């Protein structure tokens, strides 16, 4: 496996995780500062959970891709 490929993949995954983290942070801030009705709060909570799941999937995908490149 090429070290440059690994570095490029790591940068891409890190950027994607930072974007997801930003979304989670904004949702948390909006929930704290504004009074929301229950439907909006429930939807934001669902998005929060999906964003965390997305981050976990990004990390797992990066690890699997790195392992697969290492094998070949």
Average pLDDT, integer, range 13-30: 90
pTM, two decimal places: 0.77
Cα–Cα–Cα angle for 66, 69, 71, nearest 5°?
A: 110
Average pLDDT, the chain: 87
Q: Give 12's pLDDT tier (boundaries 50, 70, 90).
A: very high
pLDDT band at 1, cuts 50/70/90?
Answer: low
pLDDT score of 52 = 92
Range 24-32 average pLDDT = 84
pLDDT at 41: 82
Half-sphere exposure of 55 (CA within 13 A, CB side): 15
Q: Where are the domains of the chain?
A: 3-71
**Tokens standing for 40?**
């909006």
């Amino acid at each position: 496996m090429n070290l440059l490929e690994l570095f490029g993949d790591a940068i891409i995954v890190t950027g994607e995780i930072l974007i997801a983290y930003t979304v989670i942070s904004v949702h948390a801030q909006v929930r704290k500062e504004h009074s929301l009705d229950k439907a909006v709060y429930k939807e934001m909570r669902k998005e929060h959970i999906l964003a965390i799941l997305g981050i976990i999937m990004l990390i797992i995908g990066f690890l699997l891709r790195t392992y697969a490149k290492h094998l070949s």
